[in-house]
Structure 1
Amino acid sequence: MFMGEFHHTIDTKNRLIVPAKFREALGTEFVLTRGMDNCIFGYPLSEWEQLEEKLKQLPLAKKDARAFVRFFYSAAVQCTPDKQGRIMIPQVLSTHASLEKECVLIGVSNRIEIWSQEKWASFSEEAEENFDDIAENMLDFDF
């Protein structure tokens, strides 16, 4: 399980340090891809394989399903951290997430997310302001 918030800087070669706590759970190889809300999702291979099985079940005849799968897979990349715990973020992903310098890595249950500091601050502020409403709406999901 992934949880917590870590702040790191992406260097000029698009390398980013993955916190040791996350590296342990991600394993020696993991997958990054486009995430929702303009962040990057990172999955351990075991989680990626489970997600892949679910995506294979989406109906090919549905336009939205095809579009989602294309968008999700087209930017997916397998990563292996170097000896310093850094990963190379491909340009397509760093552009998608607007990564420039300051980044935030967060743990979200079965995945990590990589955010630009600016986008994470904006998201966090809005979520905090609306937390009571969000929590109340979670009742719709039998939470």
Structure 2
Amino acid sequence: MITKGQERCLYVFPMPEFQRIAGQLRDQPMTHKAARAYSRVFFASAHDEVPDKQGRVTIPGHLREYAGLSRELVVIGASSRVEIWDKQSWESYLADSEEDFAGIEEGVLPGGM
């Protein structure tokens, strides 16, 4: 499943992971405004894309536009998903984020790694 991700990238999930996240979103109370907003965008933009015989996947136009995908892409592994970025957007994000990454002291990883 391909859908809009945060920071203007695309998220690609294997179906079992997409279904797990869908279940978590369904479990949120309908009164939770942020959960409603996230669910709308997440599900409305989701596409079940099946690779062709050569393993290629078509990215729908509205998702290419959302992520600003140009000719050069970056595909990264991000735990239970793959992210697809426009190369220039990824490089900009990485440049902006590396200082924050280097300065993270605790709270992100269990055990305080």
Q: TM-score, normalised by structure 1?
A: 0.72
| Aligned match for 2:91, one of 121, 126, 137 | 121
C-alpha separation in 2, matches of 1:95 and 1:59: 31
Structure 2: state its 5+ residue gaps.
Answer: none
Greater share of strand: 1
- The aligned counterpart of 1:44 is 14
Q: Which amino acid aligns with 2:56?
A: R
5 Å-filtered alignment, 1:103-118, equals 103-118=73-88
5 Å-filtered alignment, 1:8-27, equals none
Aligned residue pairs total 110
The structure, 1 or 2, with the larger RCO (C-alpha pairs under 8 Å, 6+ apart) is 1
Q: Which amino acid aligns with 2:107?
A: D
How large is the RMSD of aligned CA atoms in angstroms? 1.2
Aligned residue for 1:104, secondary structure, equals strand
| Sequence identity percentage | 36
Q: Deviations over 1:41-78 (max 9, x none)?
A: 00001111111110101111122221110011000000
Aligned residue for 2:78, secondary structure, equals strand
Say whether residues 1:82 and 2:52 are aligned partners: yes
Question: 1:128 offset after TM fit, Å?
Answer: 2.1
C-alpha separation in 1, matches of 2:34 and 2:99: 31
Aligned residue for 2:57, secondary structure, equals strand
Q: Which amino acid aligns with 1:98?
A: G
- The aligned counterpart of 2:71 is 101
Question: 1:129 offset after TM fit, Å?
Answer: 2.9
Q: Return structure 1 stretches of 4+ with deviation > 3 angstroms.
A: none
